[in-house]
Structure 1
Amino acid sequence: MASSSSLVSSSPSPATAPPAVIPSIVRGTKIVQLIEKPLSHLIEDCAIRFDDRSAVNVPWQKVDLSYRTLAERSRMMAKVLLWAGLKHGDVVGIMGGNRYEYIETFLAAGRIGCPVVLMNNMFTPAELEHAMGRVSVSVLVIAGLIGPRNMEEHIKSVLARADGPKHVVVLGNENKNWGSDRAHTYSGFFNEANSKATDVELEAAESRVVVNDILNLQFTSGTTGRPKAACLTHRNILNDAMFVGAAMKLTPADVVSCPPPLFHCFGLVMGFLASFYHGSSIVFPSDTFNAEMTIESVLRDRISALLGVPTMFFAQLELLEKHKGRWAPFKTVRTGLAAGSQVPAPLMESIFKQMNIPSMLIAYGMTETSPVTFITAIEDNKDKRFNTIGRVLPHTDAKVVDSRGRILPIGQRGEICTAGFPLQRGYWNDEEKTCEVMQEDEHGVRWMYTGDEGYLDADGYGYVTGRIKDLIIRGGENISPSEIEGRLLEHPLIGESCVVGLDDKKYGEAVAAFLKASDQAKGSRPSDAELRQWVSQTLGRHKAPKHVFWVGDQGVGKDLIKTASGKYQKHLMRALGNGLLKQSDPVAAKL
């Protein structure tokens, strides 16, 4: 008999053989068929299947529309848009809170092949004008009030431009005279005498729409600060909505609460369209997010699925804790979605324990991917639901690559890339930026490079560990650092600016500015409050820096941290800023 040593040397034991390298690439099932029909078909199909069931309930407007009524009103609004001169491919803009007119306009425009561009509610008048100019808006529907915000300056600014939209439809402010024949009230525009096109004209317009036409334009900020509009097709977002609703197991018996804004993919696709496709009723509890009204709606409307970005759940948890005993415990909510930014595991635990929601799901993606590509499942165990982003949707692929685009082994961190039906057609009139983030591999498969760092495990679950890009995500909203840096550099007392996102318990990230005084400052510098006002004059208030650090101050250093070539090392600036926050106030740094 041979000795044990000779056996080992001549025939390696399986226990000592190197493990097989499994590549970090996953492919979603293709058993489920994709929707290959445009929005108008879904509207009419839902009207037949769900008829008088509530489709959209907006309690703050005292409006509750059935599937049949919503289909009819969207037909009427589509005819008005045709009368107004809109043709296939013309763009309709919407800027407003979560209200029924938003839904009617979106459905109407989609019926006749008019892309709908959703304007961020925080846009300043200048930002709104710039966005409309980028995509050539033909009709703008805008609310006179969005939450507490008076939009009169926005409306006047738009109407003052001779090259602006042909029609500006104002929601609310029914008795206001805007001094322009281009301005309409919503009710006046909707009921315009002798204005509606015929059924034959509407059917002809609908027949020209195909699934790969652009349905939705979503502005998304990149790290360059240059605004880009993601082009999402009927095929993109209708299928994404179908799969997201399926993950929540929505049925006509469900009532969905949607606090996230309709101008975001979360509110429009994961909220409204997911509910609409599955015959559920969706409730918009308030114009803009209000934690108290959301809680009251959950109890009053017997909500079974609750949606929100992390900051919304933090606000509700804080209110429930502060007013213990004011509201009865949640008993009807069985599931929901948390998304928009990274969802901390402790938050998921609090939602489970304090809000009594047993199966809250996490969704992951980006505006350019319609937006969801990964999602957890109700059947997942607690660890997977709390600590992962789930698995890819059907007809969706994902991989993790290194800086040279090579697929990494399972478990190794790299850039998350996705492919399949959710990928946008590209950025509106911006082939250069499209090619920067969407690239074909050697097999001709087009991949979206997300800029997020993460990895896949052996079961196909995804994990996000950080961001490769410098984008700041504050409360689910993407903010471009360079846009703020540019504005700060316009101040005569600022010579250099570096903007990063620092850890923030409430919003996930807060805007922070590291500044170096200009030569003409001569020892003087603006206060933090003055700088916030400076930024807010031309950019949204949410882009104003919460934290301001000056070169030369204790702990900041004598210069901004840069590479040898002069580029700011933002990962080091973030680490420095987070450290300074903890040093100055360890308790406040966590708030």
Structure 2
Amino acid sequence: MYLDDHLARPFGSIPALVHVTAAERPTQPALILDGHTLSYAGLDALIGRVANSLQREGLKQGQAVAACASTSIEYVALFLGVLRAGGLMTPLPPSATPQNLSAMLANSGAKILFMDQACARQWSTDEQAAAGLNRVWLDDSSGDASDWSSWLTPHATPTPIFPEPHWPFNLIYSSGTTGTPKGIVQPCSMRWAHVQRAATNGYGPDTIMLASTPIYSNTTLVALLPTLALGGTVILMSKFDTRRYLELAQQHRVTHTMLVPVQYQRLMDDPNFDDFDLSSFQAKFSTSAPFSAALKADVLRRWPGRLTEIYGMTEGGGRCELEAHNYPHKLHTIGKPASGHDIRLINEQGQEVAPGETGEIVGSSAAMMEGYFGMPEKTREVEWFDAKGKRFIRTGDIGRYDEDGFLTLSDRKKDVVISGGFNIYPSDLEAELSQHPAVRESAVVGVPSRQWGETPVAYVVLRPQSDVSAESLLQWLNARVGKTQRLADLICIDRLPRSEIGKILKRQLREEYTAKS
């Protein structure tokens, strides 16, 4: 096959692979959004025009180009065009606060920003514009020369760029769920490793991948970019909606998808889920947040195709995979280390723990970030080196290997509640709460306590028509756990706060509770 020779090489370029498919299969659909289809020939030409326009602007190798916008075909072309021009793509999350967005932009050093009106409504960039920042409107909303259509050159023949493995590919900012976002520099070699991995996971020219998470998210990019590199078709969703997702999956005979656990939950809860024909699915993937064993079992039972849970970080390093369809008795775990990934557990002193003991997860692989952009001290904080000097990335997650080599995830290190000198793992309490028939989901956080230093508090979302009171649920839970694990309070709420990719914002819950107290 025409892609085989490229994939067999130690390193390659994703925009170059798009060009190969455009030459071999020009009419193959590359991107589909809201009924609009762009072929590989059209995508390749648009990528070339973007790269040519950026080079006209004087873009230098490794220089950042920022974007803050909703999902669009133009956004995908921009991403790949920046790479073809030799730049550093910097997707910013529109959901971030204006203060954080300004800090990210300043940290990146980008001199050109692509945005749309939806983003501009919540983040004014007047100060940056006055300082010489060049803004281009991806949605052609200004009616002048700064619109996307006017900014693009008609020529699609940029000066050729030949990337090296160590070149920066993109600069992705962390979710900021635990503090100020940090810029993660992912090298070209890391993204190439993703492409090669996708080929072994069944992605190829016949793949039809449904992408329903935002483009700025690494969750999206680890599926979207390899699909395009391997000549498949990507169905884009500008906003996730369960009914629309199911309609698109059935209409386009989707074969692959990458979802976060909360999306799986909402899809399985849709009263019409079983009415849709999803038999075309070959593989489904999940990442970015804890995936409960009960939900995995429900997906396996009702949704055709393989189900693989992926554990890892945007920073790279260690990656675990649970092939849930092959190991239905291990759904409570996150699987085993992927091929080529070295995952170990260390204690507070930075020493490896004995087999069967709990420790912080650290990982090393070919897919690792270069570091946090402009933050060498922050980079050093997440690095760990073994006795031979091998570099690992610290995850901040706590885990334990079972006797079969499967890794069980306990909690985020920062989320562990230390009450009266005892470690309390919120996931243990959340798992216990899930046993109550009235509980749909929960989040346990540690809040300041004068008596104990910290104490656990639970936020609970009840199932529809449940009439259990918060007090009775609190008493039920405290009667089932050890004395040191007992909750100090339990609050029932309509919905847990989440980031756009489904991570529960525990820091927000802690701050809200502390403020009220």
Cα distance in 2, alignment partners of residues 437 and 310 from structure 1: 26
Moved over 6 A (4+): 504-509, 575-581, 584-591
Equivalent residue number for residue 483 of structure 2:
none
Pairs within 5 Å for 1:539-558: none
Judged with a 3 Å threshold, the aligned counterparts in structure 2 of structure 1 residues 340 and 164 are, in CA distance, closer, same or farther, namely farther
TM-aligned CA distance change 1:409 to 1:116, over 3 Å: same
Instruction: Give secondary structure in 2 for the equivalent of 1:346.
Output: helix
Q: CA deviation at 1:109?
A: 0.6
Deviation, structure 1 residue 76:
1.3
CA pair 589-454 structure 1, distance change in 2 beyond 3 A:
farther
2:344 match: 399
Q: Distance in 1 between matches of 2:406 and 2:105?
A: 39
Match of 1:236 among 190, 202, 205: 190
* Whole-angstrom CA distance in 1 between matches of 2:382 and 2:285: 27
* Structure 2 partner of 1:260: 213
Residue aligning to 1:161 = 128
**CA distance in 2 between partners of 1:380 and 1:184 (Å):** 52
Alpha-carbon deviations, 1:228-249, whole Å to 9, x = none? 10100111122124314523x1
Residue number in structure 2 paired with 1:333: 281
CA distance in 2, matches of 1:471, 1:255: 40
Give the match for residue 138 of structure 2: 171
Deviation, structure 1 residue 437: 0.4
Which position in structure 2 is the counterpart of 1:519? none
The answer as to whether partners of 1:366 and 1:450 remain within 8 angstroms in 2 is yes
**Residue among 202, 207, 211 paired with 2:165:** 211
How far residue 465 of structure 1 moved from its aligned partner, in angstroms, is 1.9
Report what 1:10 is aligned to.
none
Q: 1:494-509 maps to which residues of 2 (within 5 A)?
A: none
- 1:223·1:469 contact (CA, 8 Å) conserved in 2? no
C-alpha distance 374-445 of structure 1, shift in aligned 2 (>3 A): same
Asked whether the 8 Å contact 1:373–1:422 carries over to 2, the reply is no
* 1:416 partnered with 2:383: no
Q: TM-score, normalised by structure 2?
A: 0.78
1:360 counterpart = 2:307: yes
Higher RCO by CA contacts (8 Å cutoff, separation 6 or greater): 1
Residues 6-48 of structure 1 show CA distances to partners (whole Å, capped at 9, x for unaligned) of xxxxxxxxxxxxxxxxxxxxxxxxxx96742343433333434
Query: Aligned AA for 2:188?
Result: H
Shift in CA distance, 509/187, structure 1 to aligned 2, threshold 3 Å? farther
Q: 1:339 to 1:162 in 2, by over 3 A?
A: closer
Partner of 1:36: 11
- By how many angstroms is 1:164 displaced? 4.9
Checking the alignment, whether the CA contact within 8 Å between 2:209 and 2:232 is kept in structure 1 is yes
Paired position in structure 2 for 1:388: 333
Of 256, 263, 267, the match for 1:305: 256
Counterpart pick for 1:435 among 367, 374, 380: 380
Closer, same or farther: CA 461–283 of 1 in aligned 2, 3 Å:
same
Distance verdict in 2 for CA 1:449–1:215, change over 3 Å: same
CA separation of 1:408/1:273 partners in 2, compared to 1, >3 Å: closer, same or farther? Answer: same
Paired residue type of 2:329: D
1:224 is displaced (CA, Å) by 6.6
Determine helix, strand or coil for the equivalent of 1:387: coil
Check 1:224–1:309 CA distance in 2 against 1; reply closer, same or farther (3 A cut). closer
Shift in alpha-carbon separation, 1:580–1:287, aligned structure 2, 3 A? farther
Are 2:47 and 1:74 equivalent residues in the alignment? yes
Following superposition of structure 1 onto structure 2, how do residues 56-67 of structure 1 map, counting pairs within 5 Å? Answer: 56-58=31-33, 60=34, 62-67=35-40
Residue 421 of structure 2: aligned partner: none
SS at match of 2:185: strand
Q: Which residue of 2 aligns with 1:130?
A: 103
Match of 2:513 in 1: none
Q: Are the counterparts in 2 of residues 113 and 214 from structure 1 also a CA contact under 8 Å?
A: no
For residue 293 of structure 1, what is the amino acid of its counterpart? R
Residue 316 (structure 1) aligned with residue 267 (structure 2): yes
Does the CA-based 8 Å contact 2:253-2:280 persist in structure 1?
yes
Q: Partners in 2 of 1:359 and 1:586 — Cα distance?
A: 37
Q: Structure 1 residues 350 and 378, CA, compared in 2 at 3 Å: closer, same or farther?
A: closer
Say whether 1:120 aligns with 2:93: yes
State the match for 1:24 in structure 2: none
The code of the aligned residue for 1:332 comes to S
Aligned length, in residue pairs: 453
- Contact 2:460 2:491 (C-alpha < 8 Å) held by counterparts: no
Q: Which amino acid aligns with 2:70?
A: G
Moved more, 62-71 or 125-134: 62-71
Please identify, of 579-588 and 452-461, the stretch whose mean Cα deviation from structure 2 is larger. 579-588
What is the CA deviation profile of residues 179-229 of structure 1, one whole-angstrom value per residue up to 9, with x for unaligned ones?
A: xx8x7212121247xxx5x84x511xx13x312111111111568723310
How many Å separate the matches in 2 of 1:165 and 1:512? 44
**Other structure's SS at 1:257 match:** strand
Of 148, 152, 155, the match for 1:190: 152
Q: Secondary structure at the match of 1:573?
A: strand
Contact 1:256–1:283 at 8 Å: present in 2 too?
Answer: yes
Structure 1 residue 467 displacement after superposition: 1.6
Q: Distance in 2 between matches of 1:191 and 1:457?
A: 58
- What SS does the corresponding residue of 2:215 show, helix, strand or coil? coil
Preserved contact between residue 514 and residue 560 of structure 1 (Cα < 8 Å) = no
Is the partner of 1:64 in helix, strand or coil? Answer: strand
| CA distance in structure 2 between the aligned counterparts of 1:295 and 1:187, rounded to whole angstroms | 33
Kept after mapping to 1: 8 A contact 2:358/2:400: yes
Contact 1:140–1:165, Cα closer than 8 Å, also in 2: no
- What's the CA shift for 1:511? 9.2
Of 29, 40, 55, the residue aligned with 1:54 is 29
Equivalent residues in 2 for 1:8-27, closer than 5 Å = none
Structure 1 residues not aligned, in runs of 5+: 1-31, 473-499, 516-556, 563-568
For structure 1, which segment, 461-470 or 446-455, has the greater mean C-alpha deviation from structure 2 after superposition? 461-470
| Aligned equivalents of 2:258, 2:290: Cα separation in 1 | 15
After superposition, the C-alpha distances for 1:499-518 in whole angstroms (9 at most, x for unaligned) are x9995989976697958xxx
1:553 aligned partner: none
The amino acid across from 1:161 in the alignment is Q
Shift of 1:379: 6.8
Cα distance in 2 between the residues matched to 1:507 and 1:81: 49
Give the deviation of 1:138 after TM superposition: 1.6
Change (3 A) 1:233 1:281: same
Cα RMSD, aligned residues only: 3.4
CA-CA distance at 1:364 after TM superposition:
0.7
Percent sequence identity over aligned pairs = 21
Look up the match of 1:349.
297
Cα shift at 1:112: 2.1
Q: Which has the larger radius of gyration?
A: 1
Equivalent residue letter for 1:333: F
2:416 and 2:36 map into 1 onto residues whose CA distance is 38
Aligned residue type for 1:373: R
> Residues 334 and 139 from structure 1, CA distance in 2 versus in 1: closer, same or farther, beyond 3 angstroms?
same
Corresponding residue for residue 16 of structure 1:
none
Between the aligned partners of 1:266 and 1:35, the Cα distance in structure 2 is 24
Quote the residue 2:499 is aligned against.
none
Measure the CA separation in 2 of the matches of 1:390 and 1:49: 38
- Which one-letter code corresponds to 1:362 in the other structure? E
Matched, 1:288 2:239: yes
Q: 1:221 to 1:329 in 2, by over 3 A?
A: closer
Q: How far did 1:125 drift? A: 2.8
**Amino acid aligned to 2:148:** Y
User: Which residue is equivalent to 2:502?
Assistant: none
2:206 counterpart SS class: coil
What letter is aligned with 1:176? S
